[in-house]
Amino acid sequence: MELALDLARRGGSAVSPNPKVGCLLVKNGKIIGQGYHQEYGGPHAEVMALRDAVTDPVGATAYVTLEPCCIYGKTPPCTKALIKSGVTEVFAAMRDPNPGVDGKGLSILNNNGMRVTAGILEEKAAELNKGYLKWIFEGKPWVIAKAAVSADDYLGYNSWSQTWLTGEKSRTKVHRLRSAVDAVLIGRQTALVDNPRLTVRNCSGKNPIRVVADTHCKLPLTLNLFRDQQADTIVLCSETNLEETLTSYCRYIPVKEINGRLDPEQILQKLGQLGVTMLLIEGGRLMLNSFFEKDLIDEIYLFRSEQHLGKAELVNPLQLTENWAVKNRLTLGNDELTIAQKRKLKCLQE
C-alpha cells in the first residue's frame, strides 16, 4: 500500500477534482502491474494497473489507495474492470466518501466473490487526498496560506512596496507548492505592487488557476495576470458591481460583500463550485488575515528569513497557537520553513 500511495502522488493536481489514486496488482508474491490516475477524465488507477499487467491477473490481489468507483462518469466503473479481470482480492486504503460510491464499490466486489479489506494506511491515504475529502464533505477547497516573514515577524515594510525576504530555495519550494494546488489567490494590492505571474517556473508542473480579489474591478488590464495567457485567470468582484462575465483574458465571478470586503466564506464556496479542491493563498496581510480570523485556513506554510526589518508596518497575522500542529520544519538555504495544520481538521473522515 505504501508503494500504491507513492504511485498515487504522481497524479498531482492534474487529476483534480478527482482524487489521487494508485494501484498495484500482486500475484504469487510478485508485482505484475501498477498504475495511477494521471489526469482528469483519463483512465483510473485500477484500469492503468490492469493494462500494465505482465501476466494474466486472474487470481491476483489489488492494492488500491481508494475504494474502486462503481459509477459511470468520464470513464466506466473500476469495479466492473476488476471483476472482469479475475482479480480475487482487493485491499483498499480507505472508502471513497463520494455519495455515489461510499462503500457501494466494496460491496459490489464482495458480492461478486472477492475478498475485500479496507482501512490499510487510511490516515496516509486521507492526508494525500485532504483536498478532495474536504471538497466532498463541505463543497469547499482545502486552504493553504503561505507567507514569507522576516526574523522579527513582518511580511514587509508596508503595503505599497515590494520586500524580498527569502532566497532561491524558498522560492523554488513555493513553485512546487503552486504545482500541487488547483488555484492561487491574491488580493488587489498584491496584484498591483508585485504584478505576479503566479505560474510554475522553477520546477515542472501544471500552472494553477490564478484568482485575484478585486472588489470594484479597478485593476489595470496591463498586468501579467491578464496579458501573458499562461494560465486561466479569475477576478472575484462585488456582486453589486458586475454579473458573472467571461472575457478573452479572464472570468469575472461576483461575490457578496461584508463590511466593504469580499466574503471569504463565499469565495471558498464559489471556487468549490468550480471544482477547486486545493487553494493556495499568496495574498498580503489583509487577505491572509481575512481568512485567518474567520478560521478558514487549514494549513500554513511559513517561510522565515534571517533578515530583520525593524520599524515595519506589516505584522504577520498567521500565528501558530496551540490550535495548530506543526507537521514539518525544513531548512531552505538561510530560511526556515514551518508547515502546520489546524488540529481539528486532522481527520476529515470523522
Catalytic site positions:
46
Question: Quick count: other Cβ atoms within 10 Å of Cβ 195?
Answer: 13
Contact 275, 17 (CB under 8 A): yes
Q: Nearest CA to 183 among 135, 231, 136, 245?
A: 231
**What CA–CA distance (Å, rounded) separates 329 from 37?**
30
Contact partners, residue 187, CB within 8 Å, separation at least 6:
212, 213, 283, 284, 286, 287
φ/ψ region of 153 (left if φ > 0, alpha if ψ in -120 to 50, else beta) reads left
φ/ψ region of 304 (left if φ > 0, alpha if ψ in -120 to 50, else beta) reads beta
Contact 105, 78 (CB under 8 A): yes
- Could you tell me whether strands 245-246 and 251-255 are parallel, antiparallel, or unpaired per DSSP bridges? antiparallel
3-state secondary structure of 182: coil
Contact 38, 10 (CB under 8 A): yes
Return the residue matching grid coordinates 493536481: 13
3-state secondary structure of 174: helix
Measured torsion, CA atoms of residues 111, 114, 115, 118, in degrees rounded to the nearest 10: -80
What are the helix (H) ranges across the chain?
2-9, 45-52, 78-85, 104-111, 122-128, 130-138, 168-179, 188-194, 224-227, 264-273, 285-292
Instruction: Count Cα neighbours of 82 within 13 Å in the Cβ-side half-sphere.
Output: 35
**What CA–CA distance (Å, rounded) separates 204 from 184?**
17
